[in-house]
Structure 1
Amino acid sequence: MIGQPAVRVAFLALAIVVMTAAFMAGSFLTPFQQTMVGFAGINILLATSLSFSNGLTGLFSLGHPAFMMAGGYTAAILTFPVARKAMMMPDLPVWIADMQAPFLLATLAGGLVAALLAVVSGFPVLRLRGHYLAVATIGLIVIVRVVINNADGVTRGAIGISGIPRLSTLPWIYGWALVALALMWRLKSASPGRAMMAIRENELAAAAIGVDRARYRLKAFALGAFFAGVGGALWAHLVTNLTPASFGIPLAFMLVAMVVIGGSGSLIGAAVAAILLSVVGEVMRPVERELGAYGLIQITIALILIAVMLLRPKGLFGSGEPFSFLKPKRPRSMQ
């Protein structure tokens, strides 16, 4: 599935260990601990998808929270109990109001809506580069939040949706993280990944050999958005409460920090950084509460980010992967 036999064996072993632990977690973790481990898994999914879309093509998008909102609200509305929809969401179309979709279908729908949003917004936005693109994708977050706030007959506006079924279990969360990692690894190892990295390294040279820069950028942007939408759906069904304020600039900063610390373009690096920063956040949370110094978690993560950029500007693993047997196989023409 992923390419080289060694990689297949390594990934299969990882998947077995992770999914076994996820299924057994209920017997030795408290509900609170399961929630924290679930957040770490969602962070892995989000960080690896952002590392793929940003790291491989050289984009600097901060729009993941917008795609999470789109996916989270879509999935939450689809799985919301029918008996409460008429009262809480009176403007819903009849066919949605009378339906309570299975969790898998709702999660896929959330990812597809987020990917569609990425395609529609990507045509104008991806013409920009660097900090111009970053500002434009921040604008996308604002636009989606304003739309949700004003569509109160469907989304309940700023009040948010409460009472969402708690359907996100650890097997669901880590299963999706493994699917995302496998798919993005396969693409990175194949010709699409090579084309994206060529665009990142030298746009003119990539164009000279026939690489369609706009098409590959849009594909990477849409795939990253799809998994961000899936992450939003998992997040909504983990906390069972959804408001537009849940997805903003601090979340975008956190995800970019994970990518930069792990190494832009490194999927395993992004996953490791996601786990690291999730642990740091949970360790610092009681300290923050005890001292009354709210914002201490963000300050700590910012200091870690600054230290990494000063001491190791390329991140923990650069744009590669940490283990030699996991490195993508080079095409014969390049050997």
Structure 2
Amino acid sequence: MKKRDIILTIISISVLILFLMFANSRFDSYQIRILNLCAIYTILGLSMNLINGFTGLFSLGHAGFMAIGAYVTALLTMPAAVKNQNFFLQPIVPWLENVTVPFLPALLIGGIMAAILAFIIGAPVLRLRGDYLAIATLGFSEIIRIVFTNTQNITNGALGLKSIPNTTNLWWSFGLAALTIIFMLSLINSSYGKALKAIREDEIAAESMGIGLFRHKMLAFVIGAFFAGVGGGLLGNLLGAINPVMFRFILTFNVLLIIVLGGMGSITGTVISAFVVTSGLEYLRVLDESINLGFVRLPGIPGLRMVVFSSLLMIVVIFFRNGLMGTNEFSWDGLFALLRKRPSFLKREVGR
């Protein structure tokens, strides 16, 4: 890396830290929650992009892995008294009642549990391809949700968990998002990342070159599930309450929307899209409520924000068929090259 790039990267990180300090002290709780959600969806988007974008698999089981991370992290961080308040219909199992661990180990355990389940699921499922793989992973995700709904003495069933410690803050969410980005960049630029891209482009050619298809697919699937579990744990401890209904297919669809809009196979695109989609959905809520323009009051139309947001997404997809970034990544050289480009109308004016 050039010395100039290192200096600019350090400056950018410093600006981000200053912004987080400013946001922590000046932003209200609603704005801070939106920023936390943006960072969490960055982690979730990157984890799914590793599976779907870089490896070329079509997995729809992300909500299940998020549910595992969210429930494991919540159960491990909740004090015994809070657990007893939640489990009033049926007592919690004795081996979980008095277990309380710090937030970071709980997050890691949640991610590891999601990765272990992905390893177990991946053995039969990753031999499928295309739509069959999507249906199988979606089915396993729904199985996980149904199991959580019916294990009353472990997950509190359909009632879910409430009064979860609100440990997630800007430092946790953005710090783990930054670590996820660094890890993904290191993985994708390594020999393993090149093998994953080769599998995405042509499995037969990749196998003929000596790349173990099943081993590399399993690697991407397990790593993606681990980070999905971590993201789910962050989400649960941010919201303070979780239940099985939260982890339906629509949650997987939201993450899939982020990676498709940003670009399948682009880390930069996923980060940009996570912030655009998450903040856009929140700030367009004003369209669902009545708007006072001073001289006239427009009645709110429930669901209008989704209509407007979907229309904007359609426009973006039409003009950017491969997403905002395609398979491209951010670089300082690319940024300066873009800034040096003069618009075509300026070139015509100079020519005259």
Q: TM-score, normalised by structure 1?
A: 0.90
Q: Aligned-pair distance for 1:289?
A: 4.2
In structure 2, distance between residues paired with 1:301 and 1:127: 37
CA shift digits 1:296-317 (9 cap, x unpaired): 4444444344333332221111
Q: Aligned-pair distance for 1:32?
A: 1.5
Does residue 28 of structure 1 match 2:26? yes
SS at match of 1:211: coil
CA shift digits 1:46-68 (9 cap, x unpaired): 11221122111101112111111
Residue matched to 2:339? none
Residue matched to 1:331? none
Instruction: Give the direction of change, closer, same or farther, for the CA distance of 1:28–1:134 in structure 2 (3 Å limit).
Output: same
Higher-Rg structure is 2
CA shift digits 1:2-31 (9 cap, x unpaired): x78776655544443333322332211011
Residue matched to 2:293? none
Residue matched to 1:262? 262
Contact kept? 1:19, 1:174, Cα under 8 Å: no
Instruction: Give the direction of change, closer, same or farther, for the CA distance of 1:12–1:144 in structure 2 (3 Å limit).
Output: farther
Structure 1 unaligned segments of length 5 or more: list them.
328-335
Residue matched to 2:327? 319
Contact kept? 1:15, 1:178, Cα under 8 Å: no
Q: Aligned-pair distance for 1:86?
A: 3.9
Amino acid at match of 2:39: G
Comparing 64-73 and 3-12, the one that deviates more:
3-12
Residue matched to 2:295? none
Residue matched to 2:40? 42
In structure 2, distance between residues paired with 1:186 and 1:172: 21
Comparing 12-21 and 168-177, the one that deviates more:
12-21
Residue matched to 1:58? 56
Between 1 and 2, higher relative CO (CA 8 Å, sep ≥ 6) is seen in 1
Q: Aligned-pair distance for 1:257?
A: 1.1
Q: Any residues of structure 2 matched to 1:133-282 within 5 Å, and which?
A: 133-282=133-282
SS at match of 1:242: coil
Q: Aligned-pair distance for 1:229?
A: 0.6
Structure 2 unaligned segments of length 5 or more: list them.
291-298, 336-352
Q: Any residues of structure 2 matched to 1:84-103 within 5 Å, and which?
A: 84-89=82-87, 92-103=92-103
Q: Aligned pairs, how many?
A: 325
Does residue 80 of structure 1 match 2:78? yes
In structure 1, distance between residues paired with 2:116 and 2:9: 30
Residue matched to 2:318? 310
CA shift digits 1:111-134 (9 cap, x unpaired): 111111111111111122222222
**Over the residues paired in the alignment, what is the CA RMSD in angstroms?**
2.2
Amino acid at match of 1:311: F
Residue matched to 2:284? 284
In structure 2, distance between residues paired with 1:143 and 1:113: 16
- Give aligned-pair identity as a percent: 36
